[in-house]
């Protein structure tokens, strides 16, 4: 029981030293104490608030390796603190391996309920794992291109656009923010999974293929998550302007990318046309 109590005390201490801005969350509201609220930490880790309360009060034990890994990432624990976290939980910190690409059942259920939204799932290194039909209508089916081109970063910095594929346009500000975010995310993946040869080879190829990527790679920037905007030039429907949000699932180390059109706009009408096309195909 003492170990469980110490785990709870450690989690409370680590939660108190991380602010919402550190993990890309809004800072608004009346905050009487520093650090993350329980609700915020539970959301980012992917557990219930009740379970977090039980852990912090020493009433729960043996959190799963996925939950421990998510705590370590969200709380920005260094190597020493990460080892301590696992030890207090009665576990052993895992060695670094390959970038995970499995979609947990709970995340899968959430994605299945978002059929009216263009959504795709990517690994920590931005390899496409899954996408819904609406995403495919907008951006093309990733399986129809080469394996490396299924990587979003390679597709932006180095890949030639297939004939007939949709074109993505961003203004200068959003392009700069997008590129810096992608490079920072890839560096995090490389640091987190140093034994993953595919990630190392991707980085090497990108540095050789694109001077802009090579320059950004040498900056060692940490870029927080933020909303972005882009225009998709669809082969048939023309320009469709979309807002983009990225949801990071820490326990599975996945990125979920969601695109939205402003309701009542021509962009939303074009998305409706694509939905109708998908529904008609499904009825055949």
- Tens of pLDDT, residue by residue over 262-273, are 999 999 999 999
Looking at the fold, whether 166 and 238 belong to one and the same domain comes out as yes
| Region 97-113 average pLDDT | 87
- Contact of 203 with 186, CB cutoff 8 Å: yes
Looking at the fold, whether 133 and 208 belong to one and the same domain comes out as yes
- Contact of 99 with 125, CB cutoff 8 Å: yes
pLDDT for the residue 37:
87
Specify if 252 maps to a domain. Answer: yes
Mean pLDDT over the full length of the chain: 87
Higher pLDDT, 25 or 78: 78
Looking at the fold, whether 190 and 222 belong to one and the same domain comes out as yes
Specify if 62 maps to a domain. Answer: yes
pLDDT for the residue 119:
95
Domain that holds residue 24: 2-88
Looking at the fold, whether 239 and 195 belong to one and the same domain comes out as yes
Residue 166 has pLDDT above 60, yes or no: yes
Higher pLDDT, 126 or 29: 126
Specify if 93 maps to a domain. Answer: no
- Tens of pLDDT, residue by residue over 197-232, are 999 999 999 999 999 999 999 999 888 777 889 999
Looking at the fold, whether 241 and 125 belong to one and the same domain comes out as yes
Residue 1 has pLDDT above 80, yes or no: no
Please give the Cα distance from 7 to 86 (Å, whole number).
Answer: 9
Looking at the fold, whether 49 and 115 belong to one and the same domain comes out as no
Specify if 121 maps to a domain. Answer: yes
Give the CATH number of the domain where residue 57 resides.
Answer: 1.10.260.40
Q: What is the largest CA-CA distance in the chain?
A: 64
- Determine the straight-line distance between the first and last CA of the chain, rounded to whole angstroms: 60
Tokens describing residue 281: 């195909």
Higher pLDDT, 7 or 166: 7
The three-class DSSP label of residue 258 is strand
Residue 35 has pLDDT above 90, yes or no: no
Looking at the fold, whether 195 and 266 belong to one and the same domain comes out as yes
- Confidence class for position 55, pLDDT limits 50, 70, 90: very high
Q: How long, in residues, is the chain?
A: 284
- Contact of 99 with 253, CB cutoff 8 Å: yes
DSSP label of 18? -
Residue 144 has pLDDT above 90, yes or no: no
Looking at the fold, whether 71 and 111 belong to one and the same domain comes out as no
pLDDT for the residue 141:
79
| Region 241-247 average pLDDT | 92
In a 10 Å sphere around its CB, with 0-12 CB exposed, 13-18 middle and 19+ buried, how is residue 193 labelled? buried
Number of domains in the chain: 2
Instruction: Give which of 241, 120, 266, 235 is closest to 166, Cα–Cα.
Output: 235
Tokens describing residue 98: 């390959």
Looking at the fold, whether 60 and 178 belong to one and the same domain comes out as no
Q: What is the pTM of this model?
A: 0.69
Rg (CA), the chain: 21
Looking at the fold, whether 77 and 110 belong to one and the same domain comes out as no
Specify if 81 maps to a domain. Answer: yes
Specify if 29 maps to a domain. Answer: yes
- Contact of 167 with 106, CB cutoff 8 Å: no
Looking at the fold, whether 64 and 130 belong to one and the same domain comes out as no
Please give the Cα distance from 246 to 251 (Å, whole number).
Answer: 15
Displacement of CA 85 from its chain's centroid (Å): 23
């Amino acid at each position: 029981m003492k170990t469980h109590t110490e785990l709870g005390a450690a989690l409370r201490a680590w939660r108190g030293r991380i602010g919402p801005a550190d993990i890309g969350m809004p800072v608004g509201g009346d905050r009487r104490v520093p650090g993350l609220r329980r609700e915020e930490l539970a959301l980012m880790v992917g557990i219930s608030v009740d379970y977090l309360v039980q852990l912090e009060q020493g009433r729960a034990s043996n959190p799963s390796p996925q939950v421990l890994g998510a705590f370590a990432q969200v709380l920005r624990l260094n190597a020493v603190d990460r080892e301590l976290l696992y030890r207090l939980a009665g576990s052993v910190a895992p060695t670094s391996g390959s970038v995970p690409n499995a979609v947990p059942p709970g995340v899968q259920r959430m994605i299945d309920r978002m059929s009216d939204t263009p959504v795709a799932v990517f690994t920590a290194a931005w390899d496409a794992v899954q996408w819904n039909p609406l995403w495919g209508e907008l951006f093309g089916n990733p399986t129809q291109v080469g394996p490396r081109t299924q990587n979003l970063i390679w597709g932006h910095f180095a890949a030639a656009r297939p004939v007939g594929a949709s074109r993505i346009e961003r203004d200068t500000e959003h392009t700069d923010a997008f590129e810096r975010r992608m490079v920072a995310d890839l560096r995090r993946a490389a640091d987190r999974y140093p034994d993953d040869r595919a990630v190392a080879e991707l980085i090497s190829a990108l540095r050789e293929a694109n001077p802009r990527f090579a320059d950004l790679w040498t900056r060692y920037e940490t870029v927080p998550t933020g909303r972005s905007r882009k225009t998709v030039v669809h082969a048939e429907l023309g320009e469709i302007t979309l807002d983009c949000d990225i949801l990071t699932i820490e326990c599975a180390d996945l990125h979920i990318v969601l695109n939205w059109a402003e309701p009542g706009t021509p962009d939303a009408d074009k998305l409706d046309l694509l939905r109708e096309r998908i529904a008609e195909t499904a009825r055949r």
